[in-house]
């Protein structure tokens, strides 16, 4: 096997041996994380804009992914609240309503709080920003505001100026924006709001699975917990990914060399989890892009679940200590530049060890 292929075969997961350290990047391992923020306030667009093109349905699906990503990142860490703007017809430019006060994370209550249908209400983004900021100011601790919607403003108000005033009055508040659709005015407003609010601008289409939210949350919601602590058992410094044969999700490969590497990686991870009762693992599944996006997403999940079952069966690791993230097509498999992964190395599951 050439050096190019070995570089991809050796997908490395480095275990950071600090008490609850932040996951540094995809493929890195970490310990349990601490809160960077105390509260999350979700302000979402429920105006008439969201009725067309199944926009609201895609938003609800993304919120389901948000819910599923939370326990992978920091289950129970945060207080979460919900507010919408634009749902009620006739309220005009005051059209905003809190539907879930900021309180301890409750996934069932969170997902059930979203309206089942929308009306043709006014898109009063500025009013929503003001009300969400007031919700945040009443909560203890640092708050981030997630603004999710088209970014349009139907009223005679400037949401960018509103965000600038909020940021000036609340220097500890961050405003992150997630655009539904691609209207130019909405892009301008949401990019500018994120800039004024010391946050990030994103497109919601990039958050259609728990994997997208998981990566974003790791970067913006959590931080390392403190100084290094003695470990009961040294985590493996280098752990290869598990690689899969074409169109399969069996951890056993027909290639004897790959099969041996897979078993060695599984043994290293299984042994570490046996020796560290508080340890967890997040399994990141990938596919090579042969077939539809839906097929690849499902196959990447089945591969990660196959690794989870193997660890649970062979090494008696409780399933509650194993989490699965399906990424679908591995981005390195889509690149044609030198150094891109060959398809056989895109068909993989990477380990993220959490101590």
Q: What is the CATH number of the domain that holds 121?
A: 3.40.50.410
Residues 321 and 247 in one domain: yes
My answer on whether 76 and 146 are in the same domain is: yes
Using the 3D structure, point to which of 161, 195, 223 is the last residue of a domain.
Answer: 223
> Exposure of 171 by Cβ count < 10 A (0-12 exposed, 13-18 middle, 19+ buried)?
exposed
Same domain, yes or no, for 186 and 232? no
Mark whether 167 and 273 lie in a shared domain: no
145-193 tens-digit pLDDT: 999 999 999 998 999 999 999 999 999 999 999 999 999 999 999 999 9
The number of beta carbons lying within 10 Å of the beta carbon of residue 55 is 18
Measured between alpha carbons, how far is 195 from 214 in angstroms, rounded to an integer?
A: 22
Residue-averaged pLDDT of the chain: 84
Instruction: Note whether 201 and 319 are same-domain residues.
Output: no
**Distance of alpha carbon 153 from alpha carbon 162, whole angstroms:** 12
The total number of structural domains in the chain stands at 2
Task: Choose the final residue of a domain: 182, 204, 223.
Answer: 223
Residue 242: what are its φ and ψ, rounded to 5°?
A: -95, 130
CB 274 within 8 A of CB 315: yes
> For 239-264, how does the pLDDT look when each residue is reduced to its tens digit (9 = 90+)?
899 999 999 999 999 999 999 999 99
Q: Tally the C-alpha atoms within 13 A of residue 61's C-alpha that lie toward its C-beta.
A: 13
Structure confidence by residue, pLDDT tens digits, 65-124: 999 888 877 767 899 999 999 988 777 798 899 999 999 999 999 999 999 888 888 899
Reported pTM: 0.67
Three-state SS at 41: strand
26 and 123 housed in the same domain:
no
CATH number of residue 341's parent domain: 3.30.1330.60
pLDDT at 245: 93
The whole-number pLDDT of residue 72 equals 78
User: Based on the domain organization, do 108 and 216 belong to the same domain?
Assistant: yes
Structure tokens at 135: 């919700």
Task: Report pLDDT for 343.
Answer: 72
Give the residue from 223, 242, 275 where a domain finishes: 223
pLDDT tens digits along 7-18 = 333 333 323 222
Same domain, 15 and 120: no
- Each residue of 6-19: b (16+ CB within 10 Å) or e? eebbebebbbbbbb
Whether residue 274 sits in one domain with residue 190: no
Q: Could you tell me the residue range of the domain that residue 91 belongs to?
A: 34-223
Residue 177 sits in the same domain as residue 167: yes
């Amino acid at each position: 096997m050439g050096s190019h292929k070995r570089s991809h075969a050796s997908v490395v997961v480095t275990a950071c041996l600090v008490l609850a350290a932040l996951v540094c990047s995809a493929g890195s391992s970490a310990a349990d994380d601490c809160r960077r923020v105390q509260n999350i306030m979700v302000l979402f667009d429920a105006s008439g804009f969201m009725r067309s093109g199944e926009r609201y349905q895609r938003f609800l699906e993304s919120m389901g992914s948000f819910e599923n990503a939370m326990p992978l990142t920091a289950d129970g860490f945060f207080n979460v609240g919900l507010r919408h703007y634009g749902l009620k017809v006739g309220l005009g430019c005051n059209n905003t309503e809190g539907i879930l006060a900021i309180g301890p994370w409750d996934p069932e209550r969170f997902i059930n709080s979203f309206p089942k249908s929308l009306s043709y209400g006014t898109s009063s983004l500025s009013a929503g920003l003001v009300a969400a900021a007031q919700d945040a100011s009443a909560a203890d601790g640092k708050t981030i505001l997630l603004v999710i919607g088209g970014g349009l403003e139907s009223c005679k108000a400037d949401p960018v100026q509103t965000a600038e005033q909020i940021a000036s009055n609340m220097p500890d508040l961050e405003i992150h924006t997630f655009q539904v659709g691609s209207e130019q005015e909405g892009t301008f407003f949401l990019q500018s709001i994120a800039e004024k609010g010391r946050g990030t601008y994103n497109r919601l289409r990039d958050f259609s699975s728990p994997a997208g939210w998981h990566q974003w949350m790791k970067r913006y919601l959590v931080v390392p917990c403190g100084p290094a602590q003695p470990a009961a058992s040294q985590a493996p410094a280098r752990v290869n990914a598990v690689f899969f044969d074409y169109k399969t999700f069996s951890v056993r490969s027909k290639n004897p060399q790959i099969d041996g590497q897979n078993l060695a990686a599984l043994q290293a991870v299984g042994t570490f989890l046996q020796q560290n009762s508080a340890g967890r693992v997040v399994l990141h599944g990938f596919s090579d892009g042969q077939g539809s996006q839906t097929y690849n997403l499902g196959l990447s999940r089945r591969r990660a679940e196959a690794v989870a079952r193997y660890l649970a069966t062979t090494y008696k690791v409780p399933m509650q200590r194993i989490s699965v993230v399906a990424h679908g097509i591995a981005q390195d498999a889509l690149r044609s530049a030198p150094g891109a992964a060959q398809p056989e190395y895109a068909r993989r599951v990477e380990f993220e060890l959490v101590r």
